[in-house]
Amino acid sequence: MRRRLIPRCLIASGLAALALTMIGTSHAGTDVKIVVLKEHGVGSASQAQPFVDKFVAIAQRKNGWTSGKGTYFTERKPAEAAMDASKPQFAILSLAAYLAMKEPRKLETIGQVTVSRAGGQEYHLVSKSAKDLAGCKGQKLATDHADDQKFLNRVVSGGDWKISDFTLDATTRPLQGMKKVVKDEAKCSLIDDAQFAEMASMDGGKDLKSVWKSKKLPPMAVVALPSADKATKDSFKNNLSGLCEGDGKTACGEIGIQTLKPATDDAYAQVLAAYKKDK
């Protein structure tokens, strides 16, 4: 029986809700905006927006802000356009986006959030016939993660391979790469941990196996942008770990938040160094 990959629009809703709940810890009377960017998700941002709007209304009423707005994106380009246009104070970013934006946008790392089935913390090369990484090199590789090859080459691969080692078949949908391997249209597929968790449930998925996997990578980053004033930024960061305690515990569980805590660049030191290193 064919099952779809768990809809990440639900994860989108959870992250958006988290973002707006966190906005509520900032100083009353402050205009707060936050961008949530989860790349390679299933579903559209519009599916999460009504959920976002509901939380905005609740948060604004309870916290007495002048205004509050959270916006969810699944693609980097529109997220960055929103950053340029609306000057948000905070963002929650997928790891690849965080690394790409860290220096150009002068992002300050203030926290990290782990969301169940959000993906992006471990990557696999899967195949039906290859026995190991060597069996994938020189062959067709189908993946929907090829939009940021610098991230793949410098961070995900851990130096074991480069995209140029394969004949790339860039796909656009989460299951498409694995389906191509099942149909013998590609030798291997690069997928993340969320896709891997669902692999056995898709048609032909049980015939696929992991022949290489990455090291565990850090979760999504919570960052402050230059537009955040020190008081709002400090309040936000200091309250992160308490958002899923007490009354917030049930809500965090329902939307899949596993951990939420303050953090600095130190939590991302290894991947930041790898991303900057010329290879």
Q: Give the C-alpha separation, 227 to 87, whole Å.
A: 6
Flag whether 268 is in a domain. yes
Structure-block tokens of residue 87 = 């000057």
Indicate which CATH number applies to the domain containing 239.
3.40.190.10
- C-beta of residue 239 within 8 angstroms of C-beta of residue 22: yes
The number of distinct structural domains making up the chain is 2
Q: How high is the mean pLDDT of the chain? A: 83
Beta bridge partners of 90: 34, 224
Answer yes or no: do 222 and 134 share one domain: no
Answer yes or no: do 12 and 85 share one domain: yes
Q: What is the pLDDT of residues 82-117, one digit of tens each?
A: 999 999 988 989 999 999 999 999 999 999 988 777
Q: Which residues in 156-173 are b (16+ Cβ under 10 Å) and which e?
A: bbeeebebebbebbebee
Select the more confidently predicted residue: 22 or 236: 236
Structure-block tokens of residue 160 = 């074991």
Is pLDDT at 62 greater than 90 in this prediction? no
Answer yes or no: do 207 and 241 share one domain: no
Degrees to nearest 5, angle at CA 213 with 2 and 103: 105
Residue 239 burial (C-beta neighbours within 10 Å; 0-12, 13-18, 19+): middle
Q: What percent of the chain has pLDDT over 70?
A: 76
Is pLDDT at 55 greater than 50 in this prediction? no
Q: What is the pLDDT of residues 150-169, one digit of tens each?
A: 999 999 999 999 999 999 99
Task: Give the domain extent around 243.
Answer: 8-118+217-276
Flag whether 17 is in a domain. yes
> What does the pLDDT read at residue 42?
55
Q: What is the mean pLDDT of residues 200-218?
A: 96
Least confident of 111-115, 145-149, 220-224: 111-115
Q: What is the pTM for the complete model shown?
A: 0.85
Q: What is the pLDDT of residues 162-194, one digit of tens each?
A: 999 999 999 998 899 999 999 999 999 999 998
Answer yes or no: do 22 and 112 share one domain: yes
Flag whether 2 is in a domain. no
> Per-residue confidence at 59, pLDDT binned at 50, 70, 90?
very low
Answer yes or no: do 33 and 107 share one domain: yes
Output the DSSP codes for 186-224.
-SEEEEEHHHHHHGGGSTTGGG-EEEEEPPP---EEEEE
> Per-residue confidence at 56, pLDDT binned at 50, 70, 90?
very low
Answer yes or no: do 141 and 173 share one domain: yes
Strand order across the beta sheet in which 167-170 lies: 167-170, 140-143, 188-192, 123-127, 209-213
Answer yes or no: do 143 and 241 share one domain: no
